[in-house]
Structure 1
Amino acid sequence: MDSDIVLYIVVATALAFDFTNGFHDTANAIATSISTRAMSPRAAVLMSAVLNFAGAFISLEVAATVAKGIVEADAVTPTIVFGGLIGAIAWNLATWWFGLPSSSSHALIGGMIGSAFVAKGADVIEGDGVVEKVILPALIAPTLAFIVAGISILVAYRVVGRQRPGVVNRGYRLGQIITGSLFSLAHGTNDAQKTMGIITLALIAHGDIAANDFHVPTWVVVCSASAISLGTYSGGWRIIRTMGSRIIKMDPAQGFSAQGSGAAIVLTASHLGFPLSTTHVISGGVMGAGAAKRLSAVRWGVAGNIALAWLLTLPCSAVIGGVAYGLTQIFGSDAVGVVLVALLVIGLIAAAFGSRLRRGPAITAPTATAEVPSS
């Protein structure tokens, strides 16, 4: 009975992480469309939520990587998975609080690594998998997006250089609806699978699925797709502001180039099974589209803060995941520790949000505008 209770809590926590992933990463797909007035905020969020849901059904390659390529599946217990999820949720909420785009993917992977390390030691961490599937893509993907978006915007400006600005902007805004849709689909394909992989890993640890017969149950796919789409629809407005207006003053052509290059890279990574950070990709694309116009167009101070959040994500979420697992073990190996830690986390989140609500009203959807406020 205790193991069943732990499994239920783990599944609920995984879906809670999936929800935070959705609202934390909403900006990745739609911030540029909102900033350039290609779409209204609510229409963009709705479109992104629907396509996040649809994208979750396209592929399961990333789910397999998360379930089998980071931590040895045979060594994982549901409590280890719980600790990793707490690490990921805590980091997502912390970076959202400060409006910093960070990687939900790396938060989840870091949390799992930290929890497994405290529980079983370094031997259960698949170092080659972490380097090949996580660290190298984290370095390559934003760099590639930076280059591709930079080249794309130079080509775009060359093609339309003699056309009237009004006609050009209208055309690229229509194009942004397409590229924004593709990026939302790509986000659902890559990010929802991470939660699928984690829940499947918990089912393997619980004995519901044989380790040598990896498959993702249909109910896991549907629940994960639903959670991330609901999170996306709730809208992470703080990070949307950072991504859409504080890195560069964006025009529709730049938004089109950043989204298009990002969507192509994320869809390719999903096909190959890489749990890519969509945050890294779109941030690299936005910076590349700005820097190609002129280096001073990029607010490098904001970019530096984002880069710092990237660097801190894996180690910080790993520490939190390890601490969360350690707290569960204070009360023994049964379900008591997991239940108490879950209640503690819920209480801390409620207290934090309650204090912010007492200080002032919640941030609402940003008004779509072509002009960007100074940072």
Structure 2
Amino acid sequence: MSNPSSKPRWQSLDSDLARISRVEYANAHVARPMLAPGIAFAFIALAGLTAAVVFGRADGGLIVVAAAGFGAYMAINIGANDVANNMGPAVGANALTMTGAIVIAAIAESAGALLAGGDVVSTISKGIIDPASVHDSTVFIWAMMAALISSAMWVNLATWVGAPVSTTHSVVGGVMGAGIAAAGLSAVSWTTMSAIAASWIISPVLGGIIAAGFLALINAKIQYQDDKIAAARRWVPILVAVMAGAFTTYLAVKGLNKLVKVELEVALLFGLATGFLTWLVTVPWVHRRSEGLENRTKSLKTLFGLPLIISATFLSFAHGANDVANAVGPLAAIVHTAQFGDFAAQVAIPTWVMVIGALGISFGLFLFGPKLIRMVGSQITKLNPMRAFCVALSAAITVILASWLGLPVSSTHIAVGAVFGVGFYREWHAERRRKNANHQRLPERRQAQEEKKRRKLVRRSHFMTIVAAWIITVPATAVLSAAIFWTLTAFL
């Protein structure tokens, strides 16, 4: 016969086990947010250890170890912030899952950096600071260290706030501030800085106009046609051919400098040839893909999904090839100066430095990238595959136009400006359609239309936050860099 007194003991044990389970669940819930920073710190420490192994006990070894750690920190922030501009539209349009976008971007960014990244980099960010104005190599090292730290901190802050900013502009501001602190205002090339400041307006406006223009073309030639499928069979191959030609030219001009030097005119010829071949291939593909589709706008989205994924991959490859070198420029400058005791306008990028940049971007993307990907892809304005396709195509064409005109532009500003352009075009187009509609509606329908009219298709709070972050990026990083430089030189 069972002992009645055992029942309360079992109930007490069950209660204790339940409490232990709740404690373990609470600990796991609290520890989860610390996992990503912990992995990031481990990678930063590994980068410093790599530098220590490479340099050993050579003079300046400790400085290089610290710089490698901050370089890894910078690369992580690039992955968290900058890559969202390439993959955000594809995720927002549901052409890619978040996991798929992160995997593709990590592979493409790393491949671009390691295979096609520049073998030399401007240590003074495209001529902002005159090297002759800095006479002491130690001062130069501290200036580059301040630029590296300040730009990384600013991009980290922007990611936390939820604002995609230009990594290149952050480095530019950091170098300018440290240069002024080290050698005075006369050390800065204000002509170059004026051109960079002009790009704050040129980049997003050009990107927005071109993206809106392509969306207007798609609406007029495909979406609003009576037979949408027939129109798509005629126009989608042309649009995909334009995309292929634009990305061929884009990669030749901006992404393959290490492998081969190509003039813009030659790149355009390659682009035309690639576009024609793509059109020949795409025509039968679109016909097969469109068989059995219903004559409605939703059916058209399936025709733009694959081209959108391909374009996002190319954008990530070109970004890795072009922007990673800019990001690790200060680190490469510190390594060169510590190793050879002098400094120059351009230095070679050691392989291990480029590996830190490439892997750091991948880690940053995996650990912190989803926040900005969601911001660019869905929180600024609603995107579908057609609108996202216009954003990606605009990014490539705008860079080509800027290279032809000799204008310094930011890929971040272009991509986000294109998203804004698509959203504002939708607002303008919706307002135009409302005005042209029949005004003789029932009171309930009029009220619904007024409510719809008050709803904006571009979230103004995100628009103002991002624009404000763009405007203050260079001044903020310059001030922060100058303060860090004075601190380093005062206490070290």
Q: Distance in 2 between matches of 1:270 and 1:50?
A: 26
Answering whether residue 326 of structure 2 is matched by residue 194 of structure 1, we say: yes
Seen in structure 2, the aligned counterparts of structure 1 residues 66 and 230 have a Cα distance that, compared at 3 Å, is: farther
Shift of 1:310: 0.7
Once the two structures are superposed, what CA deviation does each residue of 1:274-299 show, in whole Å capped at 9, x if it has no partner?
Answer: 77433211111001112222234222
Aligned ranges 1:69-148 → 2 under 5 Å:
69-74=127-132, 75=134, 77-132=140-195, 134-148=196-210
Give unmatched runs, 5+ long, in structure 2.
1-57, 229-295, 429-455
Answering whether residue 387 of structure 2 is matched by residue 236 of structure 1, we say: no
Q: Distance in 2 between matches of 1:58 and 1:271?
A: 21
Q: Distance in 2 between matches of 1:176 and 1:165?
A: 17
Shift of 1:80: 0.9
Q: Distance in 1 between matches of 2:191 and 2:104?
A: 37
Question: Helix, strand or coil: the match of 1:154?
Answer: helix
Shift of 1:317: 1.2
Aligned to 1:12: 69
Answering whether residue 308 of structure 2 is matched by residue 176 of structure 1, we say: yes
Q: Which amino acid aligns with 1:311?
A: I
Seen in structure 2, the aligned counterparts of structure 1 residues 207 and 103 have a Cα distance that, compared at 3 Å, is: same
Q: Distance in 2 between matches of 1:247 and 1:213?
A: 39
Shift of 1:251: 1.8
Shift of 1:329: 2.1
Q: Which amino acid aligns with 1:42?
A: T
Give unmatched runs, 5+ long, in structure 1.
332-336, 338-375
Aligned to 1:341: none
Shift of 1:272: 9.6
Seen in structure 2, the aligned counterparts of structure 1 residues 61 and 111 have a Cα distance that, compared at 3 Å, is: same
Q: Which amino acid aligns with 1:226?
A: L
Answering whether residue 457 of structure 2 is matched by residue 325 of structure 1, we say: no
**Between 180-189 and 3-12, the greater mean CA deviation after superposition:** 3-12
Q: Distance in 2 between matches of 1:189 and 1:158?
A: 36
Question: Helix, strand or coil: the match of 2:415?
Answer: helix
CA contact (8 A) 1:190 1:276 kept: no
Question: Helix, strand or coil: the match of 1:101?
Answer: coil
Seen in structure 2, the aligned counterparts of structure 1 residues 202 and 82 have a Cα distance that, compared at 3 Å, is: same
TM-score normalised over the length of structure 1:
0.80
**Between 97-106 and 158-167, the greater mean CA deviation after superposition:** 158-167
Once the two structures are superposed, what CA deviation does each residue of 1:109-156 show, in whole Å capped at 9, x if it has no partner?
Answer: 111211221122112222222223x22333212111011101111112
Q: Of residues 386, 391, 403 in structure 2, which corresponds to 1:258?
A: 391
Equivalenced residues, count: 331
CA contact (8 A) 2:125 2:171 kept: no
Q: Distance in 2 between matches of 1:288 and 1:41?
A: 24
Q: Distance in 1 between matches of 2:376 and 2:120?
A: 25
CA contact (8 A) 1:103 1:280 kept: yes
Q: Distance in 2 between matches of 1:268 and 1:306?
A: 24
Aligned to 2:474: 314
**Between 15-24 and 292-301, the greater mean CA deviation after superposition:** 292-301
Q: Of residues 403, 411, 415 in structure 2, which corresponds to 1:282?
A: 415
Question: Helix, strand or coil: the match of 1:244?
Answer: helix
Aligned to 1:154: 216
Once the two structures are superposed, what CA deviation does each residue of 1:194-217 show, in whole Å capped at 9, x if it has no partner?
Answer: 124222322343353762774333
Once the two structures are superposed, what CA deviation does each residue of 1:9-32 show, in whole Å capped at 9, x if it has no partner?
Answer: 223312321221111123111111
Q: Distance in 2 between matches of 1:249 and 1:257?
A: 13
**Between 45-54 and 115-124, the greater mean CA deviation after superposition:** 115-124
Aligned to 2:88: 31
Q: What is the percent sequence identity of the aligned residues?
A: 27
Aligned to 2:21: none
Q: Distance in 1 between matches of 2:359 and 2:405?
A: 24
Q: Distance in 1 between matches of 2:328 and 2:400?
A: 17
Aligned to 1:364: none
Answering whether residue 354 of structure 2 is matched by residue 291 of structure 1, we say: no
Shift of 1:322: 1.2
Shift of 1:174: 1.9
**Between 215-224 and 158-167, the greater mean CA deviation after superposition:** 215-224
Shift of 1:323: 1.2
Question: Helix, strand or coil: the match of 1:211?
Answer: coil
TM-score normalised over the length of structure 2:
0.62
CA contact (8 A) 1:62 1:274 kept: no
Shift of 1:8: 2.6
Q: Distance in 2 between matches of 1:170 and 1:40?
A: 15
Seen in structure 2, the aligned counterparts of structure 1 residues 273 and 19 have a Cα distance that, compared at 3 Å, is: farther
Q: Distance in 1 between matches of 2:420 and 2:151?
A: 26
**Rg larger in structure:** 2
**Aligned-CA RMSD value:** 2.7
Question: Helix, strand or coil: the match of 1:180?
Answer: helix
Q: Which amino acid aligns with 2:69?
A: A
